[in-house]
Amino acid sequence: MDLIIKNGTVADGTGAPRFAADIGITDNRISHIGQLTESDHHGAKVIDAAGKIVSPGFIDPHTHFDAQLLWDGAAKPAIEHGVTTIVPGNCSLSLAPLKAEHRMKLVGMFNQIEEMPHKAFSEGVTWDWETFDEYISRIQQDLTINVAPLAGHSLLRLWVMGNDAMARVATPEEVNAMCELLEQCIVAGATGLSTSFVDMDERLQPVPSRYASTEELDALSNVLGQHQKILQVVHEFYDTDLTLARIDQLAELSLKHDITTTLSPLFLNADNAQGVAQIMTRIDEQMARGARVWPQVQTRPIDISFCFEVPSLLFMRLPTWYALMRFNDKEQIIAAFEDPERRAALTIEAQSMMPLWSALVLRKVESAANARLVGMTLEAIGAERGTNALEAMIDLSLEERLGAHFLAANMGHNDDDAVGELLRHPNVMIGASDGGAHILSFSTYGDTGYLFSKFVRDCSALSLELAIKKITSDTANIWGIKERGEIKVGYIADITIFEPDDIDRGQEYFVQDVPGDGYRYVRDALGIDQVLIQGKLAFSHKEGYTSAPCGQIV
């Protein structure tokens, strides 16, 4: 054996009760589970896991690390949160197949949909691939984390149809060409296809996948069925009736082509509790028929941070505000805020969202004059200044020349018991982290820590064993990821070792590792002690990340 994990408490990913055992690893696989003596070591490296849980590595099924993997093969901060396998390429967007003439189109879509800055691409990406196979070869050069990539439907349409992909349905010949292209992606390593019925491009027009006919999606699903690959969709999460119809469509595709489908995200809050109940009833009905339609539910509430230098999806319901941020530069935005007539029009449009503005917290400023206000709500700042929260937000933005950052914290979750019940549901997949996206607005990661701290320890909504099963073997089985997701002899040794009483999402902080813009918001990981990927130590709490690449395409 090359490595031994001794004295740990094993939660093997199946949901079975945890048990005390040592684990032996030979090459990249688990070779022994049970008690080992000193004579069994024979020079093997030993990890003492006394008092800790030894579980399969966590699997994150909804990320957008596609670009980051080009300059960061560890997909930071995923591994330090216990994640050993990620699924990029969601929401109809992958980085391949991609012809050179469509690169800036894709950058625009990533900027609009996932709020990824243009500079991250211009300064962090060397465009030296076109095909899916070439992209896979490119990211494999320095890969620490495991990657199960999706091919994006919008990319298939762009490759085959060019600009017509954003204007019309495909001809039968074009559909056949897309099917052949999807086949090539699958052979190169794609774990399935992603599509979107919601997203808009940089011109605020539907992304290419939204122009697809039902016949096109059916043909592509047939290819997925031939290879037992998955279909991921962004459904109309803002409308219950449309979601129910989409579930029915996915169920029929699943039954016809024998494929697994997944829709994300499914949010639960006070405004849509009845709708979510209807959605889960329909999910249960279709699952009972034999269809495989898995909704993805986040564990954590959404924290949205923004400043007016970067367009924020928080303003999508306010077209004048969003257009101002989307299509104007910094000086033009400042000029609009300073113009009395335009400012008055903006404030009138934003009045309907006053409860949100009141609850916003001032997160970051540049000037010493406003530093003492950081951490206060805009309602409190407005009261101190003799104005309201909305006016305070505009005033602070002007005073800081758009360098004031605001935080909308804990959006979405307001009933932990109800969310815990949803997470516990046997027909729900835990996912939709969006890791790698919204790097200047959302606090990326913290999902796994929040699952164990809030819903295992605090609410007791899930047992520790069930929570681990949900993010390991369940996800591996749904996505068709072989020989991972369980502590089992013969399985690949992707293993997370953590402190059950300490695992949590930590404090938010800035990290200086985004090309161009230089920083992003992340959350610290608490309680994750060590993470092994393919039998090699990829991260430890004491030593940080190791340098040797140990990930692969799965």
pLDDT at 202: 83
Mean pLDDT across the chain: 91
pLDDT at 442: 45
Q: Which fold has domain 1-57+445-478+489-543?
A: Urease, subunit C; domain 1 (2.30.40)
Model's pTM, two decimal places? 0.87
- Taking the C-alpha atoms of residue 46 and residue 6, their distance in angstroms, rounded to an integer, is 7
pLDDT at 515: 61
Residue pair 521/76 in contact (Cβ under 8 Å)? The answer is: no
Q: Which amino acid is at 156?
A: L
Within 8 A by CB and 6+ apart from 380, the residues are none
Residue 248, φ and ψ in degrees, nearest 5: -65, -40
Q: If residue 420 lies in a helix (H) or strand (E), which one and from where to where? A: helix 416-424
Residue pair 261/294 in contact (Cβ under 8 Å)? The answer is: yes
pLDDT at 344: 97
Query: DSSP for 511-539?
Result: ES-STTT--EEEEEEESEEEEEETTEEEE
Q: Domain residue spans in the chain?
A: 1-57+445-478+489-543, 304-410
- Taking the C-alpha atoms of residue 324 and residue 340, their distance in angstroms, rounded to an integer, is 15
Within 8 A by CB and 6+ apart from 549, the residues are 73, 142, 143, 144
Q: Which of 508, 505, 504, 506 is nearest to 374 (CA)?
A: 508
pLDDT at 443: 45
Q: If residue 470 lies in a helix (H) or strand (E), which one and from where to where? A: helix 464-470
Q: Which portions of the chain are predicted below pLDDT 50?
A: 441-443, 512
